[in-house]
Structures are given as structure tokens and as C-alpha cells.
Amino acid sequence: MTSSIAMNLCYLISALMFAFGIKMLGKPTTARRGNFISSAGMLLAVTATLFFHHIIAYQWIMIGLVLGTLLGLWKAIKAAMTQMPETIALLHGFGGLAALFVDWIAFDVNPFSDVLTQASIFLSIVIGGITFTGSLIAWGKLSEKLPGKPVVFPGIRLVNAAAFAAILVGGIVFFGSTAYHYPIFLMVLALSLFLGITLVLPIGGADMPVVISVLNSYAGLVACTTGFALRNILLIVAGAFVGANGIILSIIMCKAMNRSLTNVLFGGFGAAVQNSDDASGKEVKAINVEDAFFVLEAAKSVVIVPGYGLAAAQAQHAVRELGELLEKNGSEVKYAIHPVAGRMPGHMNVLLAEADISYDLLAEMDAINPQMPLADVAIVIGANDVVNPSALDDKNSPIYGMPIIRADQARHVFILKRSMASGFAGIENPLFYADNARMIFGDAKATLQALSAEFKNAA
């Protein structure tokens, strides 16, 4: 009894440390310390469990701890900053899988426990299963091992609905009778793993910020339900934090796209190529690097709008170099970050921070938009939908209503783009045809380096 009290007191301190850790993430200056406190809280929870819980067999636990720690460290050290989205997706999946195994053991040890335990285990298996395979698919899409385009086959919604119905029926039998208890458990487990795949496959790469946020909240939820199954308060509290985090980020991402969560998760967005804007008669105007340099050289203020293309071209260091040269030349340089730019919440901020760009130069959409009409040049790098003005005025556009960065209001707009092939969602972008817009075709990194070279030659 005393050891149980001691253990739970340690858990209380752990929970407080998690809370303080998140609180300190509220400011860039305290964030690192916050992360350290949070990780110390985790170490305390693990140590307290090993010390106070009646653990009989240490041998396998130690092997597991050492192996998991080494693999986790290896992955965390090896992953490049451009690979953050897929790495985090993979970690979500592993969290879900671990929870799934824990609940499976709880079920295996006592298949006929009380209703609360059984219900919690049942829910954990479903959420954990979906989290695991769903995260693996998201990881595959983000790391381009799977096609980023939505994978849709006819009847996929019917298949999903059938799988979901089968889980429900399984649940009714599971709780209604004692017959086929274990087979039903395994069937629900298999169906959940299947659902994770078919739910995420039809979602396109550009919607991954939402998917990864939802998976984050699932990872929290499954920790919660596992906490209910094991009657472990720390699991419930920590799971609640993570669940809340995922929900908040999902809402922010959806708002930034002006779409509902249901639409993102079940809409199959971007699968069909829509062409609402009749752009066939218009032509884009290209500009070469030299002419672009003359415009930039005279510019007093420059706003750089990065998108996923920046990450894809690994151009974050090249953009920092150009930014510094512009500043040296007397321009004021800002970076305008759209909430859904990139493949996960905050993706662009991390990339630009990696290139050692001071974080006070990174402006949020609402902060930068009022200043856009005053900007001499907006440089759009690998971004498309987040600067598409048809979101403002074209009611037929699939992205109508989405808030955008008003790059179109700058005096000159340079768009760095590989080719005129349509963007991810296949939506026409009238910005490309605007009078103040000029395309600079080619690899974003090479273009930026060429621009920097012009500045250096001129100096």
C-alpha cells in the first residue's frame, strides 16, 4: 500500500512536470527548458514504476528499454529537419502500437474483467490499431515511399463503413455474450488495423497537417483509454494533454484551410482535378535571374513566402543566404508563414530556424497581411494554394474561403516554380497570371543561389 502511494505521488509530480513543460513551450526562450522538464517527468514516472510496482521479471523489461532507447536515439539523431513530418508520424504509430500491445496483454491476462476495463480495452484496441497503421501510411506518404496523391478506389467509403459496422457489431457481441470472446477481440483488432490504412490512403499530401494532428490526438486518446483499463491516473492525465493538443492543432489547421474536419478526413480532396478558373487564354510572364536581381536590388522591403516546395528542394539555407544579402543591401526582409504551409503544423518555422534565420523575422499570416501592400517584392517559394487569390473571390474554387497570404498585393511578385504543372490539388492559381507576377522557372535552390551570386558579383 505504501509503495502504491509513493508511486502515485511520483506520478503526480510527473504530471505537473508535463504541464509545466507545455507551459514553457509558450515562449521560444523557455521552450528548451520546458522540454527538459517534461522529459525529466517521464524519467521519474518510469523510475517510480520500476521501483515501486511489483515487477517480477526485469530481464525482458531491461532488454526492451535498452533496445527501444537506442533505436529511438538513432532515429532522432539521424532524421533530417526536412524529414520531421514523417519522423513524427512514425513515432505516433509506435506509440499507438505500444498501447495496443499493453491492452492486448491486459485482455489476455483476464478476458472477462469488469465492464469498465473491457470497454476501455476495446476502445484502446480500435484507436490504437487505427493510430498504428494510419500513422504508417502517413509516414509512407510524407516520406514519398507511397504516392502523395490521394489513393481512391471505387467503393472505398463503402468498405470503410462496412469495417466500421463490423467493429460495432463485434462490440455488441463482445459485451452481450461470452461466446467467441477471444476471436471477436482479434477480429476487431484486425479490422482496426485495416481501417487505419483505408482511412488515410485517400487523403492527399497537402492535407497531411490535419492528418498528423488527428493522429496526434488519437495517440493521446489511446493513452487515456489504456489509463482507464489499467486504472492508471498518470496515463489518463498525460493522454488528456496530448489529446487536447491534437484536437487544437487539427482545428487550427482546418480553419486555415476553411474546411471542416469531416471534409478533410473523408472528402478525398484533390483526387479529381478541378478547373474552375478559366486560365487557358492567359499567359504567364517569366523573368530571368538577372532581371529579378535588378528589381530586388532596388527593393526596400521583401517578403518571402515559403511553401512545401522549399522543403522539397532543401532550399532553406539558400533562402537564408539571399535574405542576408538583401538585408545587407538595405532591404527589410520578412518571412510570411501560412499555418498550413508545408506538411505539418509549424513545418516552415522549423526549416527556417534550421537555416539559422532569426525567429523574430518569421511572421504569422495575420501579422504580415496588413503590410503586404507596402512590400516591394514578394518571393513565393514552392507555395501555391496558400497564395491563391481565387480563395478570396472565386466561389467555384475548391479552396474558396481559405485565408491566404496576400502576396498578390505586393508591388512585384516573383514565383519560384519548377514548371507550370498544376499544384498539388490541381487548382488553377490566377496569381501566376497577374500583371505584377513574374515566374522564375527552375529548381528553387538553384534559383536562390543564382540570385545570391548576382548580389555577390555586384558587391
Considering only residues 57-86, where is the footprint of another protein by CB under 8 A? Answer: 57-58, 60-61, 63-65, 67-69, 71-73, 75-77, 79, 81, 84
* Residue span binding another protein (CB under 8 A) among the ranges 173-181, 228-236, 305-313, 374-382: 228-236
Nearer to another protein, 255 or 411 (CB): 255
Residue 437 beta carbon to another protein: minimum distance, rounded to whole angstroms: 27
Site for another protein in 17-46 (CB under 8 A): 18-19, 21-23, 25-26, 28, 31-32, 34-36, 38-39, 42, 45-46
How far apart are the C-alpha atoms of 200 and 194, rounded to whole Å?
10
How many chain residues are in contact with another protein, going by CB under 8 A? 109
Residue 1 makes contact with another protein by CB under 8 A: no
Site for another protein in 83-112 (CB under 8 A): 84, 87-88, 91-92, 94-95, 97-99, 101-102, 104-106, 108-109
* For another protein, the closer CB: 36 or 180: 36
DSSP states of 166-178: HHHHHHHHHHH-S
Distance CA(338)–CA(427), nearest Å, equals 18
User: Residue type for 50, please?
Assistant: L
Q: Would residue 385 show up in a list of annotated catalytic residues for this protein?
A: yes
Applying CB under 8 A, which of residues 214, 222, 257, 368 lies at the interface with another protein?
Answer: 222
SS3 of 366-427? HHHHHHHHHCCEEEEECCCHHHCCHHHHCCCCCCCCCCCCCHHHCCEEEEEECCCCCCCCCC
Restricted to residues 230-269, the positions that interact with another protein (CB under 8 A) are: 230-246, 248-249, 252
Spatial CA neighbour of 380 closest among 329, 338, 328, 321? 338
> Smallest gap, in angstroms, from Cβ of residue 395 to another protein?
28
Q: In terms of C-beta density within 10 A (0-12 exposed, 13-18 middle, 19 or more buried), how is residue 351 classed?
A: buried
Residue with cell 488528456: 240
- Residue with Cβ nearer another protein (347 or 412): 347
- The Cα–Cα gap between 302 and 448 comes to 14
381-440 residues near another protein, rule: CB under 8 A:
none
- Cβ–Cβ under 8 Å, residues 26 and 72: no
Q: Which residues contact 151 (CB under 8 A, 6 or more apart)?
A: 201, 202
Closest separation in Å from C-beta 384 to another protein: 20
Q: Which of 207, 385, 408, 443 is catalytic?
A: 385
Interaction pattern, residues 327-356, with another protein; x per rule: CB under 8 A? ----------x-x----xxxx-xx--xx-x
Q: How far apart are CA 247 and CA 199, in angstroms?
A: 18
Buried b (16+ CB within 10 A) or exposed e, 45-72: beebbeebeeeeeeeeeeeeeeeeeeee
Smallest gap from Cβ 416 to another protein, in A, equals: 23
Cell 504543372 found at: 421
- Binding of residue 300 to another protein (CB under 8 A): no
Q: Name the one range near another protein by CB under 8 A: 151-159, 199-207, 267-275, 361-369.
A: 361-369
Based on the shown chain and the rule CB under 8 A, indicate whether residue 193 belongs to the binding site for another protein.
no
Residue 180 identity: Y
Q: State which amino acid sits at residue 41.
A: G
What is the closest distance, in whole angstroms, from the C-beta atom of residue 451 to another protein in the complex? 21
Active site residues: 385
